[in-house]
Amino acid sequence: MKRDNMKHNGKFGKYGGIFVPELLIPAIEELEEAFYKFKDDDKFIEELNFYLKEFGGRPTGLYYAENLSKKLGCKIYLKREDMLHTGAHKINNAIGQGLLAKYMGKTQLIAETGAGQHGIATAVIGAKLGMDVKVFMGSTDVERQKLNVFRMELSGAEVIPVDMGSKTLKDSINEAFRYWISNLDTTHYLIGTTMGPHPYPTMVKYFQSVIGKEARKQILELEGCLPDTVIACVGGGSNAMGIFSGFVDDEDVDLIGVEAGGEGTETLEHGATITKGTEGILHGSLSIILQTEEGQIRETSSVSAGLDYPGVGPEHAYLHSINRAKYVPINNNEALEALKLLCETEGIIPALESSHAIAYAVKYAKKEENKGKTIIVNLSGRGDKDMFTVAKELGVEI
């Protein structure tokens, strides 16, 4: 059956697509049409750029981490997404989709959230644009992330605890889809990462591609040449896709996605989807997922809630399949060590998610063949939100 009503089929190689209940199809078509219409609309672009700059805090710096570089014998640059409003790259996409929803005439935004970063980003843009916000959050996460729940509620969002299944991120996505099916006329589902049915992976990448565009321009200004390697952490994969998109056509630039190795990929306590997963369909697209022999979706584990997801964006699965990007796991301890290292050497507290990318950069830089290389690490978020977790992991009481 042809997809006459849509511009694209949302496929990246064999991955991606639109695997949703029939009831959602008209909403998906409406969203695709609006996205392709407004992304090239002058007024929309002007407003988007205004909010990214004045509300979000763009552009972010490309910071030469001199102390760390000297220690490792490489040139390490950090793309400072941690400096953005609400503390992570999530705000780029929330601004983009929030505005789009407004242009579509929607009055309500819904979002899923694990750690709460995407929930907060959605809550603040909802407040700014005068839209109602409902955030679905697994009840386990609600308990673990009380502070972020409070931040969302302060911005006027309603946080809805999800008590089904594993009571974490994947279940909050299920519940957000269910709510959306019942409220299509008024509501836009603001998915926080490059997963989901088409057009989400493409749309979220588009709104996050500002990271890669800036970074490419900045490194050319600073170094006069492209980097050897770009490293970013991958949960669903939006910050990685954002920065990769700036370099994916530069074949000499190595792209490395860092997944949650949790307690080790030899255990079941991890979120290393591409490293350990197999092909399957979850949350609207064909990609790589963590599943049982019988195709039930597995529960995952990571010290970093943002990487604690059994799926990955379909375009990452594609980049992996054509060997354009490489995906590696970093376990909890390595990430914690990297967090401490960056605090000590550079005075920057990275989010636990981003600490996975830092940790791999350290590992990578230590290899003889990589000495002297120029590396950009996407510092996707700041670590303030993680302080209780980190203290607990380090055995410190605060």
Partner 1 sequence: MNKVEYSEIFEKSNQSNEGIFIPFIVAGDPDYDTSLEIAKLLVDNGADALEIGFPFSDPVADGASVQNADIRAFNGGMTIKKCFKFLKELREYTDKPIGLLLYYNLVYKFGIDKFYEKLKNIGVNAVLIADLPPEEADDVMIAATNHNLEQIFIVSQATNNERLKEITKKVGGFIYIASVMGTTGARAEVELNTTELIKRIKEHTTIPTCVGFGISKPEHVKKVLSAGADGAIVGSALINIIADNLDNQDEMFSKIEEYVKIMKKSTRG
Show which residues are catalytic: 90, 112, 380
- Tell me: does residue 280 bind partner 1 (CB under 8 A): yes
266, 294, 369, 397: which one contacts partner 1 (CB under 8 A)? 294
Q: Should residue 170 be labelled a site residue for partner 1 when binding is judged by CB under 8 A?
A: yes
59 or 280: whose CB is closer to partner 1? 280
Rule CB under 8 A: say whether 105 interacts with partner 1.
Answer: no
SS3 sequence, 258-303?
EEEEECCCCCCCCECHHHHCEEEEECCEEEEECECCCCCECCCCCC
* 165 touches partner 1 (CB under 8 A): yes
Residue 180 C-beta: closest distance to partner 1, Å: 10
Q: Name the residue nearer to partner 1 (CB basis): 82 or 308.
A: 308
- Would you call 128 exposed, middle or buried from its count of C-beta atoms within 10 A (0-12, 13-18, 19+)? middle
Whether 356 contacts 259, CB under 8 Å? yes
Site for partner 1 contains 296 (CB under 8 A)? yes
Q: Measured from the CB of residue 241, what is the shortest distance to partner 1 in angstroms? A: 22
297 binds partner 1 (CB under 8 A): yes
Instruction: Report the distance separating Cα 101 and Cα 99, nearest Å.
Output: 5
Q: How open is the CA angle 24-25-30, to the nearest 5 degrees? A: 100
Backbone phi, psi, residue 109, to 5°? -110, 135
Structure-block tokens of residue 356: 């996975």
Taking the C-alpha atoms of residue 30 and residue 199, their distance in angstroms, rounded to an integer, is 10
CB 205 → partner 1: shortest distance, Å? 21
Nearer to partner 1, 171 or 386 (CB): 171
* Residue in 12, 27, 258, 325 binding partner 1, rule: CB under 8 A: 27
According to DSSP, the residues that pair with 373 across neighbouring strands are: none
**Quick check: 268 binds partner 1 (CB under 8 A)?**
no
* Position 295 contacts partner 1 (CB under 8 A): yes
C-alpha–C-alpha distance, residues 90 and 302, integer Å: 19
Give the interface with partner 1 as residue ranges (CB under 8 A): 1-5, 9, 17-23, 25-27, 164-165, 170-171, 174, 177-178, 181-182, 184, 278-284, 286, 289, 291, 293-297
